[in-house]
Amino acid sequence: MTTKLLIDTDPGCDDAVAIAAALAHPDLEVVGLSTVAGNTTLENTTRNAHAILELLDRTNFPVARGCDRPISRELVSAEDVHGPGGIRGDLPEPTAEPIDAHGAAFIVDQAREYGDDLTIAAVGPWTNLATAMLLEPALPDMVANIYLMGGAAMTGGNVTPEAEFNVYVDPEAASHVVQHARPKMGGLDVTNRSTVAAELIEDYADRDAPFDTIAAWFGYEDADAVRERGIEDPPSVHDAAVVIDIVEDIFEYETYPVEVNTGHGPSRGATICDTRGTTGEEQTVDVAVDVDLEAFRTTLAETLENL
Ligand code: RIB
Ligand code: CA
């Protein structure tokens, strides 16, 4: 039984690995991508999404452009991490165009079409997902699952000491999602540890397309650099871990109330996980608290060989 999957994404190197893994896994049927501003501008994330699909010879997928900025903040991007234009590696200049529908409307349309056959993975800022939930408040009850990459429930952030990037960029969207979506949240608690072996990255760097480009995505740097110096400390492929969890259950979850700090101070975007039940709030978020790294690495490597 395959899982129909919609990925909301801001490619982004680790988003690209997540998309490649989703396209290659036999138990996943990608129904489309919605793009959001995050790692880079919406124009770049949408172009990058098409370029990834064309690199992988999967061009018959709808890509819907979503929100070009957070709900009520200026966009903070991460091109310093993901490279100029928001992605690294040798990618074709895409020829495809996005569909006419807005990304948030596309999410709603796919939920109405596929219902509880559909799983949604939001691996960029949750702006499109929150907007879709405002358009269709019943969305969380319509689909099978909503998986999130984001948050830092019981660990430090990667933008500030408190906040993970996807939540930091759009705290208002994140707050709405954790309060109303009953999501499965794969945060830095598990994705920081979700790395690939340096040997795999160096092996890919010496292979033909698309693997040399995937090496660049793994390492968040150009494949030449990987060939020349190798990867001493492989970075985390956050988004890919969430996609692999959908099919391989690599995460262990505990359910808690979660609140997002929507202030403008040093705690902006903090995800506060009420592990002691002190708030009396309903436990609505499945928080990933552990990851089977071996299962992640094995499944990802095996899956990508199907490309
Ligand atoms: O904090 C990691 C997240 O931020 C990932 O989704 C990565 O792509 C960046 O968007
Ligand atoms: Ca991302």
Report the nearest atom of ligand 1 relative to the CA of 149: 6
| Model pLDDT, residue 105 | 98
Any idea which ligand is nearest the CA of 271? 1
Residues in contact with ligand 1 (CB, 6 Å cut-off):
10, 12, 14-15, 38-39, 78, 123-124, 149, 158, 164-166, 238-239
Is residue 238 among the annotated active site residues? yes
Residue 240: predicted pLDDT: 98
Confidence at residue 212, expressed as pLDDT on a 0 to 100 scale:
96
Interior angle at CA 80, CA 155 and CA 173, nearest 5: 55
Number of helices (H) and strands (E) in the chain: give both, helices first. Answer: 14, 10
223 assigned to some structural domain: no
Tens digits of residue pLDDT in 146-155: 999 999 999 9
Q: What angle do CA 10, 14, 160 make, to 5 degrees?
A: 75
Rounded-to-integer distance, Cα 84 and Cα 103, Å: 24
Ligand 1: which residue has its CA nearest to atom 1? 165
The predicted structure's pLDDT at residue 178? 97
Q: Is the pLDDT of residue 283 over 90?
A: no
Query: How many domains does one find in the chain?
Result: 1
Give the pLDDT band (50/70/90) at residue 6.
very high
CA 204 to centroid of ligand 2, rounded, Å = 22
Question: Does 15 fall in a domain?
Answer: yes
| CATH code where residue 139 lies | 3.90.245.10
User: How much is the pLDDT for 100?
Assistant: 96
Residue 48 pLDDT class (50, 70, 90 cuts): very high
Residue 265, in any domain of the structure: yes
Report whether pLDDT(255) > 90: yes
In a domain, 200, yes or no: no
Average pLDDT over residues 289-296: 98
Q: Is residue 206 part of a domain?
A: no
- Whole-angstrom Cα distance, residue 28 to residue 6? 10
Q: What is the structure's pLDDT at 280?
A: 87
Percent of the chain with pLDDT over 90: 90
pLDDT, mean of residues 296-307: 98
* Atom of ligand 1 at shortest range from CA of 12: 8
Distance 184 CA to ligand 2 centre (A): 16
- Please check whether residue 231 lies inside any domain of the structure: no
> E strands of 130-249, at which residues?
145-149, 184-186
Q: Region 91-116: what's the mean pLDDT?
A: 97
pLDDT at 73 over 90: yes
Average pLDDT, the chain: 96
- Exposure string for 33-67, b = 16+ CB within 10 A, e = fewer: bbbbbbbbbbebbbbbbbbbbbbbebeebbbbbbb
Classify residue 249 as left (phi > 0), alpha (psi -120 to 50) or beta: left
**Is the model's pLDDT at 47 over the cut of 90?**
yes
pTM, to two decimals: 0.97
In this predicted model, what pLDDT tens digit does every residue of 219-240 receive, in sequence order?
Answer: 888 878 888 888 888 889 999 9
Percent of the chain with pLDDT over 70: 100
Report the alpha-carbon distance of residue 170 to residue 165 in Å, rounded.
Answer: 9
In which domain, by residue range, is 146 found?
Answer: 3-195+236-304
Q: What residue type is 98 in one-letter code?
A: P
In a domain, 257, yes or no: yes
Q: How far is the CA of 9 from the centre of ligand 2 (A)?
A: 6
8, 9, 13, 15: residue to mutate for ligand 1 pocket, most atoms within 8 A of CB? 15
* Cβ–Cβ < 8 Å for 163, 156: no
